[in-house]
Structure formats: C-alpha cells, structure tokens
A and B are shown apart, each in its own frame.
Chain A
C-alpha cells in the first residue's frame, strides 16, 4: 500500500495541542543543550582571553596597592583607580637578575564630572618596551599612537574619529579594540606621553588623590616576564626581598579565584545539561508512548487497509522527526535571542569574564544541539514505533487493548 508522504504532517496538524506540547518539550531540551554549551564555552573563552591579555608572569605594584586589594578590582573587575610609585623603583626592579621582558604601565581614572566625557580606567603604556598591550592593540591599530591619541575598549560607545575629554584635555579616538570579555573592554589605552599629560592636567585641576607627584617620575605598575633559565618564583622572590615598598604578584595567582569560580559554574551547567537531557529523554519517551497508545485504533485502521508494519513505524518516526526538528530549531533560536543580546547582563550576573565564541562556532553549536535533540527524540520514539508496528489489529479494533 502506498501512503501519502504528507500523512505525518497532517497527523500533527490534526491535533495541534498535542503537537504544541511535544514541540515545547523538545524546544526546552534544545535550549538547554545549546544555551548551556554556549555559556560554558563563553566563560572558558573569557578566561582564556583574560589570561592572554594579562600577558606577563609577574606584576609589581606599590605595596599599599597590593594590600588594599584594589589591584584585583582594577585589573580584573574593571573598577577605576590608580596608584603610583617612584620611577627609581622601576630602575631597581629592572636591574634584578632573571628578567626577560620588563615594561611599566601608568594608571589614571577619569572623573564623571564635567571635566571628563566619562568615568573610565585609563591605562598608559610605553610602546618601546610594552609586550602585553601592544600585541593585541596591533590587531585593531597598526600605526604608532600620536600624542593625545587613545584606543578605546569595545564596551565604550565611542568610535574612531570621536573626541573624548579627560580632565579638560581633548583626546582623539584612534581605534576601537575587539571584544575581550574582560574588564579591558571598558578601559582606554594610550601611550605614556599622553597619560603623563593627563595626570598633570588632573593635578592642575586638583582632582588627583596624589597631590605631590611628578608625572615624569612615577609609574603605576611594572610587568615582567622571566628570562629563559630562570623560574618565575626566583624572580618574584628576588624582587620581594630586595626592592622595598613594592609587592610582586604572580598574575596566574591573581586569576586563580576566577578560574575556580568558572570551574564551579561550568560544573553546575554541565550537570544541569545532563539532568535536563535525561529528564527530557524520559519525558519524551512517556509523551510519545502515551500519544501513540491513544492512537492505537488509528494505526489499526491503517494496518487493516494495507499499511505494512514498517510503514506504521515509519509514520511514527517521521512525526517525531518533524516535531523534534521544529522544537529544536525553536529552542536554538530562543537560546540565540536570550544569550546574544543579553550577554552583558549575564556577564555582570556571573561576575566572570564572558566572551562569546565566533559566529561559525555558534552556528556549529546550533547544529549540534539540533542534531542531538532530533537523535534524542528519535531514540525516545523508537520504542513506541516498535510497539505500534507489532499491534494486534483484531484485538485493537474489537476494543480490547
């Protein structure tokens, strides 16, 4: 007997409530698989991005800055702040044995009052020695920064050519960085010439917490990479022992707290995905079994008019395939509508670095979630399909189930 290929679709349209419930269930399953996977990947990408942005083995800061714990809030959490130490300390640190690369950075926080366009962390670096910021700035801006040129993080609503004012000094936006998913997205970067001029201007306007500093004679922190043949521990201990009033910190130790939190969140999401998948599988199994059980007479009639056992199983499988395809696509679209536009809210809620993977990777996750949901649905319905293909037509039509 030839059965119309449109029969499974007509069956689904014939009972819209049942179809809607089954589509909803598969959509939830797909949403959890896709959303959960994307969340875990984004958190891992964010942490990797943070690790590569820090880019140095050791960070040396004034002792008060390290003990007041404002270092981590500035470097990792995007809070604004600044601290300074004498440049002589930088020279002394540079003479320590075992230093491969060394560069100073300068911090300044702009104010939210009328003198500044916005309140942000301004980070100055020395283009001649810098090895942490320059490599990723080069991806967005290949030229040399001129005086009063700035590069803005991706989360700042300023664009190339715009002018931002800091402490009354007009600065030109030369480039905008790619998204990093870290606190650097809300920072402004510039060369040491510009930041020294900005620090001087903040001093002139009496808006700097440090009243008696000479911008040409201070640095905020020193970043160091250990030379080959020396361990990070050796260099770190050497600096902490021999240079007074400074604190050398391993950058890996700084992000260990974030790594631990991320591992915890990832574990929770992974467990949730597995639980929802198992629960979804069982619910679909029951839902399909109940739905097929209610339709035994319908299948018995088809069998009487000549449909083979395989054809009955085929109809059930095709219905499940259509349901799962629609549901999984809906779930994936819903996941995209939640995660893509609201990524900033998620980042703030988790308080962890959060960076979405590339569009190609996201498309891959959508495809994987759709395939996995369809497979789950097909496995769940296969039991019912097998049972319906073995029904005793006479018993069913007599009303004896």
Chain B
C-alpha cells in the first residue's frame, strides 16, 4: 500500500508540474497579434499556469512535508477541486479564440483537459488510499 501511495504522490507532482510549465512552454495558447497585443486565450494560459503552480506546491507539500495519512488525504482532496477549476478555465471561465482550429483550441485546451482529468483521478485514488493507510496504521 505504501509503495502505491508514494507512486501516486510522485505522479501527482509530475502532472502538476506538467500542467504548470507545460501550459507555459509546451502547449501554450496563441501568440501575440501583429500589433503586440494578446488575444483572450493568453489570459486563460496565465490562469492555468497560476493554478498549475498552486497544484505543484500542494502536491510537493503532500509528498515531502507531511507523513500523516489524514493530512495527505485532505491535500489530495483539495488537488481534485483545484484541478476541476483548471479544467473549467479554457473556453468556459475564460473565452478562447474565435476559431476552434487555432492553437489555443487545438492544443492547449485538450492538453489542459487531459492533464486535469488525470490529476482528478490520481487525486481521488490518493485520497482514498492515504485514508485507508491511516486507518490501517
């Protein structure tokens, strides 16, 4: 059980880092316009970056700072909620560009959706297993 929870914690750290830095450097939104101004999708990218940073800090804290199962379970639960918020950012809470063929729709949005879903699922598993671990100990 211990091994699985450690693996899950590390996976959550990696996914959070991917959401945070990936949104900024790998699957970023559309670039600036010719006049240098930004389209709406840029602010969605910034928001996801910020949320990713929070997720990364929390998952690192969960993995390395606490040993108590209940605390870890609580943090894992909060990760799920924050990842759900990230999931809602592109095109729901913050509008993206007008055409679905543009980079923000074609690359950033699906990447954020897939990573957020993975964080939610891993967070759910981590929450249950840490709780179980705590009860067993």
Interface residues of chain A, those whose CB is within 8 Å of chain B, are 78, 117-118, 120, 154-158, 185-186, 337, 341-342, 344-345, 348
Report the Cα distance A118→B91, complex, angstroms.
Answer: 17
A19 → chain B closest CB, angstroms: 13
Report the Cα distance A120→B101, complex, angstroms.
Answer: 12
Q: Are A155 and B110 in contact (CB under 8 A)?
A: no
How many pairs of residues, A versus B, come closer than 8 Å at their CB atoms? 46
Q: Are B105 and A344 in contact (CB under 8 A)?
A: yes
Report the Cα distance A179→B13, complex, angstroms.
Answer: 37
Q: For residue A157, which residue of chain B has the nearest CB?
A: B98
Q: Are B114 and A157 in contact (CB under 8 A)?
A: no
Q: Are B101 and A348 in contact (CB under 8 A)?
A: yes
9 A-B pairs with the lowest CB-CB distances in the bound complex, closest first: A341-B110, A344-B106, A155-B100, A118-B98, A157-B98, A342-B110, A345-B106, A337-B114, A341-B113
Kindly identify which residue among B105, B107, B113 contacts A157, using a CB–CB cutoff of 8 Å. Answer: B105
Mask: chain B, 101-137; 1 = CB below 8 Å from A; 0 = not: 1000111011101100100000000000000000000
Is B99 engaged at the interface, CB distance under 8 Å to the other chain?
yes
Please count how many residues in chain B sit with their CB below 8 Å of the partner chain's CB atoms. Answer: 17
Report the Cα distance A157→B98, complex, angstroms.
Answer: 5
Q: Are B114 and A186 in contact (CB under 8 A)?
A: no
Given contacts A341-B113, A341-B114, contact A118 B106 (CB under 8 A): no
Contacts of B113 on A, CB cut-off 8 Å?
A: 341
Q: For residue B117, which residue of chain A has the nearest CB?
A: A337
Kindly identify which residue among A156, A337, A344 contacts B98, using a CB–CB cutoff of 8 Å. Answer: A156
Given contacts A157-B105, A344-B106, A345-B106, contact A120 B100 (CB under 8 A): no
Q: Are A158 and B106 in contact (CB under 8 A)?
A: no
Contacts of B106 on A, CB cut-off 8 Å?
A: 342, 344-345, 348
Q: Are A157 and B91 in contact (CB under 8 A)?
A: yes
Within 8 A of A (CB), among B81-99: 91, 95-99
Given contacts A157-B95, A337-B117, contact A186 B110 (CB under 8 A): no
Known: A157-B98, A186-B100; 14 extra A-B contacts, CB below 8 A, are A117-B98, A154-B100, A155-B99, A157-B95, A157-B97, A157-B99, A185-B101, A186-B99, A337-B117, A342-B110, A344-B106, A345-B106, A348-B101, A348-B106
Contacts of A154 on B, CB cut-off 8 Å?
A: 100
Report the Cα distance A186→B101, complex, angstroms.
Answer: 8
Contacts of A342 on B, CB cut-off 8 Å?
A: 106-107, 110
12 A-B interface contacts by CB (under 8 A): A120-B99, A154-B100, A155-B100, A156-B99, A156-B100, A157-B100, A157-B105, A158-B98, A341-B110, A341-B111, A344-B100, A345-B106
Q: For residue B106, which residue of chain A has the nearest CB?
A: A344
Within 8 A of A (CB), among B52-89: none
Contacts of B101 on A, CB cut-off 8 Å?
A: 78, 155, 185-186, 344, 348
Contacts of A337 on B, CB cut-off 8 Å?
A: 114, 117
Q: Are A345 and B107 in contact (CB under 8 A)?
A: yes
User: Which of B95, B106, B117 has the most chain A CB atoms closer than 10 A to its own CB?
Assistant: B106
Contacts of B98 on A, CB cut-off 8 Å?
A: 117-118, 156-158
Report the Cα distance A220→B101, complex, angstroms.
Answer: 26
Q: For residue B34, which residue of chain A has the nearest CB?
A: A112
